[in-house]
Chain A
Amino acid sequence: MELTNHFPALIMAVLLGISFLSPILYRWARKASAPALITSLSLALVMAIYLLFQVLQVGEFTYYMGGWPPPYGIEFRLDLIRVYMLLVVLAVSLWIMVYALKDLEHELKTEVMGWYYTLYALVVGSMAGIALTNDLFNLFVLMEICAISACAIISVKEDRACLEASFKYLILSAMGTGCFLLGVAMIYMVTGQMNYDLVNAALPEAVELYPNNMFAASALFIVAFGTKAALFPLHVWLPDAHASAPSPSSAMLSGLVIKIYAFALFIMFYQLFPRPLLESIPLNEILLWLASMGIMFGSIFAMVQVDLKKMLAYSSIGQIGYVFLGIGLDDTIAITGGFYHLLVHAIMKSMLFMCAGVIIYSTGIRQIKQLGGIGQVLPITMFAFTIGSASMIGIPGTGGLISKWYLALGALEIGRPIFVVIILASSLLNAVYYMPIIVNAFMQQEQFEYQVKPVPRQMLIPLFVGVAALVFLGVFSRPFIVLLENAVQLLF
């Protein structure tokens, strides 16, 4: 048996394994626990890169967990789009963890650090699984793991706001999972299958016999994934949860966790549901309008926030709308744009939360009003903040422009310029709330009056990496776009 054949399972095994080991290591070999986590994340990343090359060489393939073929065993499917998602998840989470090592010392009590590593590895591992799995029930299990550990990395801080926010998140996310389970039950009822491919094969017949079941299932899926991914009217849990969590958790939640559910919904639409079903119910249309409303509302809420992290959290509601917009537009170019935005936003939003984390670490400030003149004392951080905001607005030279460009082109391709207007209007709104912060930070005449703690290099280097990545994505976007276009074309 060749080891490389088992990489899909090994990625999860490594991450789940380290999550069990972390508390033990933290207790008996404290110094080794953080390097162990970093090593296993890097190991997973290396395996994912290997998988990418394998998929590029031999095309899509499947992996049976434990050698049991479906319908009895769990199947992992590796095609280009899933491996892309896997790579995004692993790379970004490794990058956030490097930053988190220093920031957490400041935000958490020492005795819970080991547990934090556990939860972090669980979140990453379950997300990797969600990206790869080809089985509805397995997806449900992984979603539960992800939801509970995501709640826990908020409440690990143990202050009132965190507990309250994570409770709210827990309830709504349990509601989401419940809806999903109900939807799965409906599908199982009419098809008797759990594996995506088998369900997909059985559905056309089942739809004709039991159309109501399928309508209900698709509605339940939209609600389930909408709640978890903070699609517009179901976003209520997000601002509190993302704003009160420790900064690395916020970066993780805003950057990756909400996206993985958008991705799961995308997989449902394009790999589980047969095309005729998608065309007979206006699912895409619903998604489009909810996403557009999310884009507008999210930006407007963000404008009136006083708390920096809360502003960033509201901005995430708008930005996840772009991803859903890409899915809803149902066009190769738009989906490419949506997925490119998924990567770009994962990087820029994580970076902005890291900047907020550095500001809180160094000065303890959370209020936007008090940030005047902070550019003089934290120039590197605010420079990174500027690049991140520029990418949010879509200024040339940053990744944000490219994803907006493709989304807008896709909207034009299917003849709906109204969505171009929405994309551009929200860019203007983004400018309205990001620009004053930057201008105040750098151009304020008054001196910065709060005490400033020196920022360790370990927190600044990830910011540099983020800036470089955003500029790279903005200037040399072609290879990524080509990869994504190939990946998306396979689905049509």
Chain B
Amino acid sequence: METTFSTFIPLYLILIPMLTGIVLYFLPESKMLIRKAVSITAALFSLAGVIWLLPYVLMGEVCCDLIEFMQFGLYLSIDVISWVFALLITMAYFLAVLFSFSYMDHEHNLRRYYSFLIFTLGALLGVVFAGDFFSLFIFFEIMTFSSFVLVIHKQDREALQAGSLYLYMAILGGLSLLFAILLLYGNTGHLDMIPALENLGTQRLAILVLFMIGFGIKAGLVPLHIWLPLAHPVAPSPASALLSGIMIKAGAYGILRVSLVLFRPAGEGSTADWIFIFNSGYILMWIGIVTMVAGALMALLQSNTKRILAYSSISQMGYIAAGFGVAVFMGLEGAMGFTGSLYHIANHAVFKAGLFSMIGVVYMLTHELDMSRLGGMAKKMPLVTVTFVIAALGIAGMPGFNGFASKTLIHDAMLESYKHFDLYGIFIAERFFFITSALTICYFLKLFQGVFLGPVPEKLDRDYKLPISAGFITVVFAALVLVVGIFPNLLLERLLVPGAQLLGFSDYSIAGLYGFGYFEWYPLRKTLLVTLLALFIYLPASARGWFDWTPPPRLCIQRLIIQPIPQLVLSFFLRETSINDMALGQFYEHSANENKHSDYYSSDVDEAPELAHDEAAQSAYYMIGKGLDRDRQMREQLRSFFWWDQQQWNIKNLNFDNLLLAIVLGVVLFIVFSYGS
């Protein structure tokens, strides 16, 4: 099991897409065919390379060490867990590049799009191949910046605003990661991904929180998700599919490596260590629960199809975080929560990328994203409708579709931990999980009804011709959903259980995963109950139009918190500088006047100094005036610095949800702490 293969293959897998991306940028705009061929070849190459690595990964670990690169050397290592992520990335990339061929044909600036698309593939593979935190950080940053170009591809005002929020949040996350890495290095003297809880000393809470902020921003955990519902919908659909399906998983990957690898005791671990682990896992689970409920609630209130999917991604990331949380606080018994989450990561990548592609196909043909102006597409696009239903059943967790396989595992892990610890909090969390599953069904019913059912609007009443490549990829996504759903144990036993073994979970907890009974009465009964609850919510609510409710704009968090605080801080600093500037001017003026006085007494004869000092005083006055001018100018600039237009504040594109979620998070954490202690 513990064989280590040293090879440069991982480096090539990272570098070749990156170099291809750079080369593509210099290919003239007109050579479209070559561009497509090169990009698909690069994607296929990575896919093949990753699959080729499988036997080695199952036998042990594939490593690559470059000592001379940057300050700490670049260290790559691939184990089963990284490999699962790498497979998802390359597979989704292959399909997304294929989808781009038809989707992007009428778009502008394809040179930049393809170049950055392929470049990001290399960076993403780098993130999951990284063997220490410094390498991880480097690739994480590269990925952030290259995917930014994909987000703002449309280059209109909306895209630029969403992109700038994305960029600043991502830079904030990157800096918080850097801080965490610095503290880690300062305390342990190394950056390897190995259990090191004992060596982290008193700063371990700070390190954990900083890591969680850094990765949580990328993963879209509440309350750090504010960029996600803005940025994912504005990107072109293939890029949205990758952003939602793959890139937020980079955050989940980081959370996995930190919470389940780094924050584990290297030896036996003292009681205090295990209490710390329990608390951190318990809080992570609750953050996950809050994220899933809030994401689902916000998804219900949207009318933009892609924004529903973006909020749905937040909600599904909540499932993943909750599963990891359970795995963390169960300690050595947490194999089920871990495999459940890893499984859900894989499944979510498939169905969310698929759903974005299908909605993308609808958008490509109709140029319409708003559900109020869509409808009846079932008659116009039967193939897309069928695949959409399959993917939606997958995300809703219906038996026979892939979401069922992972959600059941996470749910069972929660129940198991409830039995193990007998904490009432976990019981409540399990209820929330139950409700969220129902809400998931509700918003997909809403989405399906809005897009595919009902009368066809007059404007869209024409024949649509589905491009072959687009049809092909939707079918592939649906097929993946079905295959995994019908044989849920296959993937679990072959890939995920070896992953769980790597993390050192106890044999007892792993044994329960072999031959896991998916199609038994208990999980099926749960699904039935969830479906009934969903219908119970959906039918009256949609009849009365509750889903169209818009929260009042004055609750918008942008207006309440995000705008005033930086403005106050900045104007304080600016006030200081103007005082400084003017003080200097006054100093000049005073000294000139004083000199004048002294000269007046000392030299009655000579008028020249007096004149000179008069002049000096005048220019000092001038300088004070200039200081005032500059002060005013800076203030004006500051005002224009905030890009939120007061008139255009509209709740559908802003973050009322933040406030709501912050309150929810506060209440929940309060409950957790009062129950937990």
- With A233-B580, A396-B141, A413-B186 known as contacts, the answer to whether A306 contacts B71 (CB < 8 A) is no
1/0 per residue, CB under 8 A from A, across B191-211: the answer is 000000000000100100000
Closest chain A residue to B183, Cβ basis: A412
How far, in whole Å, are A408 and B175 apart by their CA atoms in the complex? 12
Contact call A428/B171, Cβ cutoff below 8 A: yes
How far, in whole Å, are A296 and B574 apart by their CA atoms in the complex? 11
Contact call B186/A409, Cβ cutoff below 8 A: yes
Contacts of A380 in B (CB 8 A): none
Query: Which of B35-43, B162-170, B243-251 forms part of the interface with chain A?
Result: B162-170
- With A412-B183, A424-B178 known as contacts, the answer to whether A396 contacts B70 (CB < 8 A) is yes
How far, in whole Å, are A146 and B182 apart by their CA atoms in the complex? 39
B638 contacts the other chain (CB 8 A): yes
Contact call B160/A477, Cβ cutoff below 8 A: no
Contacts of A394 in B (CB 8 A): 178
- With A297-B577, A413-B186, A477-B70 known as contacts, the answer to whether A396 contacts B179 (CB < 8 A) is no
- With A297-B573, A431-B168 known as contacts, the answer to whether A412 contacts B637 (CB < 8 A) is no
How far, in whole Å, are A43 and B142 apart by their CA atoms in the complex? 40
How far, in whole Å, are A425 and B186 apart by their CA atoms in the complex? 19
Contact call B70/A474, Cβ cutoff below 8 A: yes
How far, in whole Å, are A394 and B174 apart by their CA atoms in the complex? 10
Question: Which of B171, B577, B633 has a CB less than 8 Å from the CB of A306?
Answer: B633
Contact call A428/B163, Cβ cutoff below 8 A: no
B156 contacts the other chain (CB 8 A): yes
Min CB gap B663→A, angstroms:
26
- With A424-B178, A475-B69 known as contacts, the answer to whether A439 contacts B160 (CB < 8 A) is yes
How far, in whole Å, are A305 and B641 apart by their CA atoms in the complex? 10
> Which bucket holds chain A's interface residue count?
35 or more
Contacts of A478 in B (CB 8 A): 68, 71
Contact call A300/B168, Cβ cutoff below 8 A: no
Contacts of B603 in A (CB 8 A): none
Contact call B164/A412, Cβ cutoff below 8 A: no
Contact call A304/B137, Cβ cutoff below 8 A: no
Contact call A396/B142, Cβ cutoff below 8 A: yes
Question: Which of A300, A306, A421, A427 has a CB less than 8 Å from the CB of B573?
Answer: A300
1/0 per residue, CB under 8 A from B, across A456-492: the answer is 0000000000000000001111100100000000000
Question: Which of B142, B172, B573 has a CB less than 8 Å from the CB of A428?
Answer: B172
Residue of B68, B138, B152, B171 with most partner-chain A CB within 10 A: B171
Contacts of A481 in B (CB 8 A): 71
Contacts of B141 in A (CB 8 A): 395-396
Contact call A409/B574, Cβ cutoff below 8 A: no
A and B contact pairs by CB, cutoff 8 A, 8 listed:
A300-B574, A303-B641, A304-B641, A306-B637, A412-B186, A428-B171, A439-B163, A476-B70
Min CB gap B216→A, angstroms:
17
Question: Which of B69, B171, B576, B638 has a CB less than 8 Å from the CB of A304?
Answer: B638
Contact call B68/A444, Cβ cutoff below 8 A: no
Contacts of B171 in A (CB 8 A): 393, 427-428, 431, 435
- With A236-B584, A396-B137 known as contacts, the answer to whether A420 contacts B71 (CB < 8 A) is no
Contacts of A413 in B (CB 8 A): 186
Q: Which 7 A-B pairs have the closest CB atoms?
A: A412-B186, A396-B138, A424-B175, A304-B637, A300-B573, A304-B634, A431-B171
Contact call B164/A445, Cβ cutoff below 8 A: no
Min CB gap B171→A, angstroms:
5
A405 contacts the other chain (CB 8 A): yes
B493 contacts the other chain (CB 8 A): no
How far, in whole Å, are A97 and B244 apart by their CA atoms in the complex? 50
Min CB gap B605→A, angstroms:
27
Min CB gap A309→B, angstroms:
15
Contact call B175/A427, Cβ cutoff below 8 A: yes
Contacts of B570 in A (CB 8 A): 300, 303-304
Contacts of A404 in B (CB 8 A): 178
1/0 per residue, CB under 8 A from B, across A427-442: the answer is 1100110011001000
Contacts of B186 in A (CB 8 A): 409, 412-413
Closest chain A residue to B583, Cβ basis: A236
Residue of A297, A439, A444 with most partner-chain B CB within 10 A: A439
B185 contacts the other chain (CB 8 A): yes
Question: Which of B138, B145, B637 has a CB less than 8 Å from the CB of A305?
Answer: B637
Contacts of B580 in A (CB 8 A): 233, 236
Min CB gap B63→A, angstroms:
21
B155 contacts the other chain (CB 8 A): yes
Contact call B138/A409, Cβ cutoff below 8 A: no
How far, in whole Å, are A427 and B179 apart by their CA atoms in the complex? 12
Min CB gap B554→A, angstroms:
27
B273 contacts the other chain (CB 8 A): no
1/0 per residue, CB under 8 A from A, across B16-41: the answer is 00000000000000000000000000
Closest chain A residue to B140, Cβ basis: A396
A443 contacts the other chain (CB 8 A): yes
How far, in whole Å, are A444 and B163 apart by their CA atoms in the complex? 13
Contact call B182/A420, Cβ cutoff below 8 A: yes
How far, in whole Å, are A236 and B570 apart by their CA atoms in the complex? 19
Min CB gap B131→A, angstroms:
16
Closest chain B residue to A368, Cβ basis: B637
1/0 per residue, CB under 8 A from B, across A405-417: the answer is 1001100110001
A136 contacts the other chain (CB 8 A): no
How far, in whole Å, are A255 and B548 apart by their CA atoms in the complex? 58
Contact call A443/B638, Cβ cutoff below 8 A: no
Closest chain A residue to B210, Cβ basis: A424
Contact call B573/A475, Cβ cutoff below 8 A: no
How far, in whole Å, are A32 and B155 apart by their CA atoms in the complex? 50
How far, in whole Å, are A443 and B573 apart by their CA atoms in the complex? 31
Contacts of B61 in A (CB 8 A): none
B370 contacts the other chain (CB 8 A): no
Min CB gap A51→B, angstroms:
27
Contacts of B70 in A (CB 8 A): 396-397, 402, 474-477
B581 contacts the other chain (CB 8 A): yes
Contacts of A20 in B (CB 8 A): none
Min CB gap A331→B, angstroms:
12
Contact call B183/A417, Cβ cutoff below 8 A: yes
Question: Given A405-B178, A435-B168, 15 other A-B contacts at CB below 8 A?
Answer: A303-B641, A304-B637, A396-B142, A397-B142, A404-B178, A409-B185, A412-B183, A424-B178, A427-B175, A439-B163, A444-B155, A445-B155, A475-B69, A478-B68, A478-B71
Contacts of A393 in B (CB 8 A): 171
Contact call B160/A395, Cβ cutoff below 8 A: no
Residue of B145, B168, B573 with most partner-chain A CB within 10 A: B573
Closest chain A residue to B627, Cβ basis: A236
Closest chain B residue to A402, Cβ basis: B71
How far, in whole Å, are A445 and B152 apart by their CA atoms in the complex? 11
Contacts of B69 in A (CB 8 A): 475-476
A137 contacts the other chain (CB 8 A): no
How far, in whole Å, are A395 and B283 apart by their CA atoms in the complex? 31
How far, in whole Å, are A405 and B133 apart by their CA atoms in the complex? 14
Min CB gap A332→B, angstroms:
14
A215 contacts the other chain (CB 8 A): no
Contacts of A304 in B (CB 8 A): 570, 574, 634, 637-638, 641
Min CB gap A471→B, angstroms:
11
Within 8 A of B (CB), among A305-335: 305-306
How far, in whole Å, are A405 and B638 apart by their CA atoms in the complex? 31
Contacts of A432 in B (CB 8 A): 168
1/0 per residue, CB under 8 A from A, across B142-157: the answer is 1001000000100110
A301 contacts the other chain (CB 8 A): yes
Contact call B167/A409, Cβ cutoff below 8 A: no
Contact call B142/A443, Cβ cutoff below 8 A: no
Within 8 A of B (CB), among A268-300: 296-297, 300
Contact call A420/B179, Cβ cutoff below 8 A: yes
Within 8 A of B (CB), among A225-246: 233, 236
- With A304-B634, A476-B68 known as contacts, the answer to whether A297 contacts B164 (CB < 8 A) is no
How far, in whole Å, are A393 and B141 apart by their CA atoms in the complex? 12
